[in-house]
A and B are shown apart, each in its own frame.
Chain A
Amino acid sequence: MTALCVLAETVALLGLLAAAVTFPLRLLRPDRDYTRWGQRGMLLGAGLLGMGLMAHFVRRGEGPLGDWANISFLLVLLLALAVLCVERFAKRPALAAFITPLMFGTALLGLLRAAKALPAISNHWLVVHILLSLVAYVCFTLAFAMAASYLISDHLLKRKQLERLPLLPPLASADRVGHGAVMVGLALFTIGLLVGALTFWDFGVGMDPKIPAAMVTWLIYAGYLGLRHLAGWRGRRLQWVLVAGFAMVVITFAFFGHNAVRLKAPDAAPVTTERA
């Protein structure tokens, strides 16, 4: 079973790698379109990871929040869903170029951290906190993709390199969708933070580096909305705020997330390190 899991995870990773290469390549070389293979790779990768989550649940009775790998895989699945939605509604293939490398990175990070298992989470509020945060991360990723698209379009327009523009959404659309994603993401992130803070308070956990990082992330996105709605900002500079916000999301997820292992929840099960 373990060998089969390793094989499935390796194939999934290769599929995601194909997506992470072909989609950005489309943006760099508009005349070469290999995104069909990338899309297949993404679907294969996300599908296998989803099946892995199911197998994990069936075999060990653990939900998707059982260990870091599973959390990462769940995030990859949610990102794949976001890519499919973006492709279906925006019909701009280059948008996936910004998300698919992140999917690959998230899956790789999850596998590298597979050995660092979490205490089994049976506290419902903690589950709500994690799930809300994950969906908020997906929204922030989408906002980042839109901001990156905006900045690249701006660059291309300024340099009159117009051949690649049809691959990207128009400036106004990227701005509007990015704004919508932040509105939804920040609302979920705020609720998730409040739920998390109250749960940690109950457990008597002290200062975790993840907490100030999350606070900085929240402040950046709140600042974005404030600048947009109160000061009436638009345009290129506002997109950089989204990039900064996303950088903080990555830092929070990649570097500080593991500190939650320290969490000693009263109802936490013993730590396990072996992945089925």
Chain B
Amino acid sequence: MSVSFTRREAWRNRFLILPSVLLLAAFVVYPAGFAVYTSLTNEALSGPAAMNPRFVGFANYAKLLTDQNFWRSLAITFWFVLFSAIIGQLVLGLLSAMLLNRRFALRPLVNAIILMPNAVPEVVAALMWASMLAAGEYGTLNNIVAWFGVDPQRWLTSFPLTMIIIVNIWRGIGFAMILMTSGLSSISDELYEAARMDGANTSQIFRRITLPLLVPTIFLYLLVSTVSTIAIFGLVFALTRGGPAGSTELVGIYIYNQSFNSYQLGYGSAVAVVVLVFSLLVGMLYVRALKVDV
């Protein structure tokens, strides 16, 4: 190939990625950079700092270290991610993928039931669950448990974290199932037949063939779902606003509350930057752990 052809090709390729580069720069890189800058100031939405924001160095980060509410929200986020994304969605997504790999009469219906939550806008989903979990005898769930003789519960007050974990599992199974289905379909039927001929029973086939061959898919799923669940906001905010008493204040909600309820934009930005670094670390860990092709 001639030098001029190669050079022309290189220019054409740069031209092709230009729109993406511009959009990413405008809506991701610039805001992120601005957040880093803001986190180093005492920018606020009211008070003297709003008039004259000052550069404060790492003061916001120093304050973070001793902020009990920040550590509490990190802990809540950890449990939320662990139980809803890593355990709940993954296990149920894998189970439903395996179930739907078989043929049975109600398959399209089950498929729709699992995928629908993913298609509903998150605020709509949250409002549905607000009605479902409403306290008092008119709440849908209270009506259901009443058949079993259980007294009406204040679900979102008594078990707030458990409830948002359940809601998030419900919403995320579909995505996990789609990924797991694609992982399962890449395992050839002949492998299962060979394993049967070798004398493996159903559970041995699952443990020794299916699961090891799904590991790359599972890691890919964990990468995507961990990072997106750390950043979750709308679903939980619409349902609980982080309450009661901060018990569902995920780190995303904490950032919002600090920035727009306490008006401390600089401090909120510092939390956001820490979470960004944290997500990057988790992502790198997964990618390293299994050299997943992302």
Query: A and B, one complex?
Result: no
Interface residues of A (CB under 8 A from B): none
Interface residues of B (CB under 8 A from A): none
